């Protein structure tokens, strides 16, 4: 699968290449040093993220208890469905399972929770249960691969490609990409496509999870890291919600900590929008948004997490946000010019190493 790069001269990528060399050197040394103690049922390690510990709190669901008999029955029902899927080597989505008996399950959340519990209980990734999630993410840029059914996919077209629903099944991945950019919001991702960012910064790859990433988008980012070990950056709003999304990609989430080794990429760096960029670029105050009480609580919660202790530059940025009591969306950059993000902001950040 051939790609035709149209991007900047090789010298543009010097700092990026140095960053990649340092990442590869860290991998050879065995990743990061363990950092931090316990956090609920998870432990944080710099090289893995949040992951389960063996002495975590457990709960019992009994068949002879009125309080849990229905949940017990639902677990058995879904286990029987999983057994049939594995026996027949077929796959189903969580939505498929819900619609087999929507009245019994009540709502999709019940099914999602039980599948997570079963995956955690059996200590296997969800895809080993032959249950897939419906993908909502998109991918574009210098990447090609073959799907499980033999379909050849080329992501270098003008329009984005949907993230596959079976990441484990894709093979023959190929890229010359110098970096992978994770974009928080679909609107920003589409704007970068419209501005021909992938070609201007070629070779590169862009991914969006359209907000909080689904499992498949996280699996794809992890697979790209494991396969190519190219630098990965995040572009998120300068607000607590954006930081939270970045943390999910980098360190994982409590709800999926039992599968951290398959999902987290601690090598991810924060490219923008940094709270310090707001002052540096003289973004007008009337384009900023005051932090809500909920925002402040979220920010306080993130600052208390164990992985922030080994990210002093992240802490400093969050403290800038807390002190100013203001947040900013990526769209605030359009005040400077309509294409400032793709024409100036990102190229300068990538060329001069403006990530933390």
Three-state secondary structure call for residue 105: helix
Q: What is the dihedral of CA 242, 339, 11, 231, to 10 degrees?
A: 20
Residue 343: Cβ-neighbour burial (10 angstroms; 0-12, 13-18, 19+): middle
Three-state secondary structure call for residue 206: strand
Dist. CA 1–CA 154, nearest whole Å: 8
Dist. CA 347–CA 8, nearest whole Å: 10
Dist. CA 110–CA 20, nearest whole Å: 42
Under 8 Å between Cβ of 218 and 133: no
Helix (H) / strand (E) containing 20? helix 14-29
Q: Which of 99, 145, 249, 345 is catalytic?
A: 99
Known catalytic residue at 99: yes
* Positions marked active-site: 99
């Amino acid at each position: 699968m051939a790609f035709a790069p149209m991007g900047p001269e090789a010298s543009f990528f010097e700092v990026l290449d140095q960053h990649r060399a340092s990442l590869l050197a860290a991998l050879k040394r065995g990743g990061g040093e363990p950092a931090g103690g316990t956090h609920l049922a998870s432990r944080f390690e710099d090289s893995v993220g949040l992951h389960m510990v063996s002495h975590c709190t457990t709960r019992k669901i009994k068949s002879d208890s009125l309080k849990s008999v229905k949940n017990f029955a639902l677990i058995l029902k879904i286990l029987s469905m999983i057994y049939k899927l594995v026996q027949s080597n077929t796959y189903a989505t969580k939505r498929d399972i819900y619609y087999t008996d929507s009245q019994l399950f009540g709502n999709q959340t019940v099914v999602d929770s039980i599948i997570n519990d079963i995956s955690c209980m059996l200590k296997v990734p969800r895809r080993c249960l032959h249950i897939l999630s419906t993908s909502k993410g998109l991918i574009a840029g210098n990447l090609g691969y073959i799907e499980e059914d033999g379909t050849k996919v080329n992501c270098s077209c003008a329009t984005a490609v949907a993230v596959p629903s079976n990441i484990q099944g894709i093979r023959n991945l190929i890229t010359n990409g110098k970096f992978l950019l994770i974009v928080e919001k679909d609107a920003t991702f589409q704007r970068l496509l419209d501005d021909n960012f992938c070609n201007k910064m070629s070779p590169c790859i862009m991914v969006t999870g359209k907000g909080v990433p689904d499992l498949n988008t996280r699996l794809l980012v992890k697979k790209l890291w494991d396969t190519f070990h190219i630098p990965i950056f995040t572009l998120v709003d300068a607000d607590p919600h954006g930081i939270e999304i970045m943390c999910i990609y980098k360190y994982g989430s409590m709800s999926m900590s039992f599968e951290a080794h398959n999902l987290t990429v601690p090598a991810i760096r924060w490219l923008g929008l940094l709270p310090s960029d707001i002052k540096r670029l003289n973004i007008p105050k009337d384009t900023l948004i005051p932090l809500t009480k909920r925002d402040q609580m979220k920010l306080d919660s993130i600052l208390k997490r164990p992985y922030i202790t080994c990210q002093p530059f992240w802490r400093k940025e969050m403290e800038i946000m807390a002190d100013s009591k203001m947040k900013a969306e990526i769209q605030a950059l359009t005040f400077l010019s309509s294409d400032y993000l793709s024409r100036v902001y990102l190229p300068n950040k990538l060329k001069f190493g403006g990530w933390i």
